[in-house]
Chains A and B, each alone.
Chain A
Amino acid sequence: MDVTIKIKRFDPEADQPHSYWEDFSVSVPDNATVLDALIKIREEIDGTLTLRCSCRSAICGSCAVRINGHAGLACKTSLSRAIDEDNCVTVEPAGVMKVIKDLTVDFDLFWDKIREVEPYLQPQGAEPEGEYIASNESMLHLSGVTACIMCGACVSDCTVLEVDPTFLGPAALAKAYRFTADPRDGDREGVSRDRLRNLSEATGMWDCTRCNECVQACPKGVAPMDRIMALREQAVSAGFTNNNGARHTSAFTESVGHSGRLDELRLPIKSVGGITNIGAMLSYAPVGWRALTHGKMPPIRHKNVENVENVRRLFRKLEPDLAGPQIGRNSPFG
């Protein structure tokens, strides 16, 4: 199969370093992966082409790149499925992280975030003489997360990290979940209270916008976003509700459960803990003013949808715990 690999290159030692595209034509077997083609280019055409790769079987996590604009492992991507009608495929370095050379990016940001979640088991109390007793189900569930190979594909395509580098990001949060969900970590009941408290802070679990890009990008089925949502459930049920993220979720649920639609005026106010949070209220002022002057201000009087009782009945049936206001009862609008 003759293919054209369009590679985004960068030479930091050029007189004026800049990214540019270069096309390589190679002939490879029909079952070749994108990595096979990149290695062939490197070994036979251009020895300056630089990328990390090692295992060729999706376990070492070295070769995450963007293929046709989306992050994935070059060794796990079949070339025949990646090429377009002109037998062409584009390969770029992973996103978010700084490019060092060609397809090689600086992982320091990635590892700093991993370190930030204290990524090692922290049991309380004495170790047993033998192994910890744990259900196979709990270990299988964790193995679904520890299957993460730290390739950075999720970080590459995270739409929050793209604009806010302080966000812990999908890989570190999934790693954190691997401990909070471990029956051996935390207190006797396996609740990792310190972790959940820390992860509830700004830049943590509540900063994910649920765009789902990390789930799509992950080559190992770890589904980082789903783990972040599970972290939120753990944090709320452990009582860590005194933060914007938990209040936002609660107010959202409360509004829809009560009126059948979102109360866009009160949602942000409840999220920050009510109008007594003067700082937050002031920070809203410019947005509020622009909304008002552009006729986008949500109505002050929030109306119920028609037949709202049907919505409430659904809520009671599906989420009995969430059917009524549970958090933010002290809110002036509650």
Chain B
Amino acid sequence: MLEHDVLVIGAGLAGMRAAIAASANGANTAIISKVHPVRSHSNAAQGGINAALLDRGDDWEDHAYDTIKGSDFLGDQDAIEVMCSSAGRALIDMEHMGVTFNRDDEGKLGTRAFGGQRRARTFFVGDFTGQALLHVMFEQLIKSGVRSYEEWFVTSLIEEDGQVAGVMALEIRTGQIHAIRAKTVIFCTGGCGRIFEPSTNALIVTGDGMALAYNAGVGLMDMEMVQYHPTTLAGSGVLLSEAARGEGAYLRDKNGHRFMEKYAPNMMELASRDVVSRAEQTEINAGNGVNGCVFLDCTHLGEALIMEKLSQIREIGIDLAGVDMIREPVPIRPGMHYIMGGIKTDINGLTSIPGVYAAGECANVSVHGGNRLGANSLLDTIVFGERSGNHAAEFCRGVEFVDFDEGEAVAREERRINEMLERPDNGDRWGAIRQAMGESMVRNVAVFRDEQSISEAIRDFSDLRDRYNQVPVQNKNRIFNTDLVFALELGYMLDVADTIAFSALERRESRGANARTDFPERDDDNWLKHIVARKGEVGPELSYLPVTITKWQPEERKY
């Protein structure tokens, strides 16, 4: 049987960082991903990565405070302290590995301003920082010699007596089912954006790891905290980086007014994302938009700056909307982008099951709380990817592999998959179910939400679940059967969708990204706490955890 001390699931930035760290600590490490590592969604991070560098006169505690305020005081402050105090080293490590960060006039790393922060501490590579980091991390993965299972899709986690034993995986290229034994598993499977339609997220972002962990009994925390990014392109919903506003772009309504002065007179366009998205939605709802959009105006930035620092998003505007941002404002609207919630872990990435870890967007450490600051996500992946890899390698030294019957495990998984392949054609398609789920989510669990809308989403998901249980798979073949993979992914998405909706319904206040029109105020007395969703008999069972506060007491949030 295939066997590894540390098995990392997902090969984005967090996954590769974890694998490299575990391997460097002497663990027999492998990484498994349903796509080739450089196809991972870390690619899509555009604007940059935050770090407070002392030699720039910055202080990590200032970064921590901005992050805590951005989180609407829901982030755990011990975790935020870890992230912000590790940021400088993590950034310099990436530079040493070869990232081609933009420089200042002295040849040192250059910065740009980003939302929700009082000083410029966002380091960047043009407007494709995530891609630049991801490819360099892949270079380091090659250098490390870590075994990489590419285009292998994990279908279940194997547990024996409350301990992790390994995973089952479908080798997409052959259609073969494999069991892989592992002492530890690190979920680095990214977010779950495709539960929403539209979303800025790539088609592969289907909440796989969250669902696998949830189904194994691990809690998903703060799932109601879904980030709607302020600048997604009209039509396709593709992301246009916050870097545009960081470089000085304006948001305007249909009459050309910079409406942010009403909502965030100090920070204007660079208020935190939840604040800006709510402002845009309020203006659009009041009829001050055009076709459901307001405008991102870069025309005053000049061609030279746009070509040097924003060239990729300019291309996107031209390719997908036929608008050249050098010449005219781009129609944009809030769009689902990120989930702050995820698999509950401690500051070492460890979940409630010994040997099971999580890092990156699929995890909730929690450093983002109710709202993530732009350019903190890349930092999160690298810092907590490394920590979980280190910790998992350490954990392996003290434990033996857990035995399980490989033949039986493979047979069981094959039966499950064959059952799906053999379903009679009833005219339904997984694509239609996913579309209905996504539209319900964006309609009902939106920038603004209330009890009625969220309840409607929950009813929709229940109906869709019934359809899903019968949905046929058209492609009956083995080799590269993506039809089957998508059907399996949809099951994961429906599991996670429930946890989002139930958590959103539960939080009867407005905090961070959970803006309840029926409970418009933040309520620290009753709701300064995390909501944890665990799998129950019928749907998610909810419980609470306290927020860790070290030295920053909750205060009113103004930008």
User: Which chain A residues border B92 with CB–CB below 8 Å?
Assistant: 130-131
Q: State whether the Cβ of A139 lies closer than 8 Å to any Cβ in chain B.
A: yes
Query: Nearest Cβ in chain A — how far from B486, in angstroms?
Result: 8
User: Which chain A residues border B41 with CB–CB below 8 Å?
Assistant: 54-55, 60
| Chain A, Cβ-Cβ closest to B93 | A127
User: Which chain A residues border B11 with CB–CB below 8 Å?
Assistant: none
User: Which chain A residues border B125 with CB–CB below 8 Å?
Assistant: 139, 143, 146
Compute how far the CA of A175 lies from the CA of B102 in the bound complex, rounded to whole angstroms.
19
Contact flag A59-B139 (CB < 8 Å), given A31-B235, A139-B101: no
Q: State whether the Cβ of A250 lies closer than 8 Å to any Cβ in chain B.
A: no
Q: State whether the Cβ of A104 lies closer than 8 Å to any Cβ in chain B.
A: yes
User: Which chain B residues border A140 with CB–CB below 8 Å?
Assistant: 102, 126, 308
**Interface size of B in residues (CB-CB distance below 8 Å):** 64
User: Which chain B residues border A104 with CB–CB below 8 Å?
Assistant: 480
Determine if A54 and B482 form an interchain contact, defined as CB atoms under 8 angstroms apart: no
Query: Nearest Cβ in chain B — how far from A209, in angstroms?
Result: 28
| Chain A, Cβ-Cβ closest to B106 | A133
User: Which chain A residues border B39 with CB–CB below 8 Å?
Assistant: 52, 54, 60-62
Chain A, 1-31, CB within 8 A of any chain B CB: 11-13, 29, 31
User: Which chain A residues border B95 with CB–CB below 8 Å?
Assistant: 131-132
Contact flag A58-B315 (CB < 8 Å), given A133-B107, A133-B108: yes
Determine if A115 and B142 form an interchain contact, defined as CB atoms under 8 angstroms apart: yes
Question: B477-503 interface mask toward A, CB cutoff 8 Å, 1 = contact, 0 = none?
Answer: 111111100000000000000000000
User: Which chain B residues border A281 with CB–CB below 8 Å?
Assistant: none
Q: Which of B110, B202, B235, B321 contacts A55 (CB 8 A)?
A: B202
From A42, A57, A115, A150, residue with most partner B Cβ within 10 Å: A57
| Chain B, Cβ-Cβ closest to A119 | B139
Contact flag A143-B100 (CB < 8 Å), given A31-B322, A59-B128: yes
| Chain A, Cβ-Cβ closest to B319 | A76
User: Which chain B residues border A61 with CB–CB below 8 Å?
Assistant: 38-39
Q: State whether the Cβ of A149 lies closer than 8 Å to any Cβ in chain B.
A: yes
| Chain B, Cβ-Cβ closest to A131 | B95
Compute how far the CA of A104 lies from the CA of B39 in the bound complex, rounded to whole angstroms.
14
Determine if B100 and A139 form an interchain contact, defined as CB atoms under 8 angstroms apart: yes
Interface residues on A, range: 35 or more
Q: State whether the Cβ of A193 lies closer than 8 Å to any Cβ in chain B.
A: no
Chain A, 124-147, CB within 8 A of any chain B CB: 127, 130-136, 139-140, 142-143, 146-147
Query: Nearest Cβ in chain B — how far from A147, in angstroms?
Result: 7
From A43, A55, A146, residue with most partner B Cβ within 10 Å: A55
Q: State whether the Cβ of A100 lies closer than 8 Å to any Cβ in chain B.
A: yes
Question: B273-296 interface mask toward A, CB cutoff 8 Å, 1 = contact, 0 = none?
Answer: 000000000000000000000000
User: Which chain B residues border A136 with CB–CB below 8 Å?
Assistant: 102-105, 107, 110
| Chain A, Cβ-Cβ closest to B239 | A57
Q: State whether the Cβ of A53 lies closer than 8 Å to any Cβ in chain B.
A: yes
Q: State whether the Cβ of A120 lies closer than 8 Å to any Cβ in chain B.
A: yes
Compute how far the CA of A294 lies from the CA of B43 in the bound complex, rounded to whole angstroms.
57
Determine if B483 and A47 form an interchain contact, defined as CB atoms under 8 angstroms apart: yes
| Chain A, Cβ-Cβ closest to B135 | A146
User: Which chain A residues border B321 with CB–CB below 8 Å?
Assistant: 31
User: Which chain A residues border B102 with CB–CB below 8 Å?
Assistant: 136, 139-140, 143
Determine if A13 and B143 form an interchain contact, defined as CB atoms under 8 angstroms apart: no
User: Which chain B residues border A31 with CB–CB below 8 Å?
Assistant: 235, 320-322
From B35, B38, B235, B474, residue with most partner A Cβ within 10 Å: B38
Compute how far the CA of A53 lies from the CA of B109 in the bound complex, rounded to whole angstroms.
34
Compute how far the CA of A139 lies from the CA of B108 in the bound complex, rounded to whole angstroms.
11
Q: State whether the Cβ of A234 lies closer than 8 Å to any Cβ in chain B.
A: no
Determine if B478 and A13 form an interchain contact, defined as CB atoms under 8 angstroms apart: yes
Determine if A120 and B140 form an interchain contact, defined as CB atoms under 8 angstroms apart: yes
Chain B, 83-118, CB within 8 A of any chain A CB: 92, 95-98, 100-110
Determine if B474 and A59 form an interchain contact, defined as CB atoms under 8 angstroms apart: no
Determine if B322 and A43 form an interchain contact, defined as CB atoms under 8 angstroms apart: no
Question: B126-169 interface mask toward A, CB cutoff 8 Å, 1 = contact, 0 = none?
Answer: 10100110010001101100000000000000000000000000
Contact flag A59-B131 (CB < 8 Å), given A48-B477, A136-B102: yes
Query: Nearest Cβ in chain B — how far from A72, in angstroms?
Result: 11
Determine if B474 and A48 form an interchain contact, defined as CB atoms under 8 angstroms apart: yes
Q: State whether the Cβ of A50 lies closer than 8 Å to any Cβ in chain B.
A: yes
Top-3 shortest CB links A-B: A47-B474, A43-B431, A121-B98
A-B contact pairs, 5 of them (CB 8 A): A55-B41, A120-B98, A131-B96, A146-B100, A182-B100
Can you name 10 extra interface pairs (CB under 8 A) apart from A56-B202, A61-B38? A13-B477, A42-B482, A44-B431, A47-B429, A58-B316, A101-B480, A131-B96, A143-B102, A143-B126, A150-B38
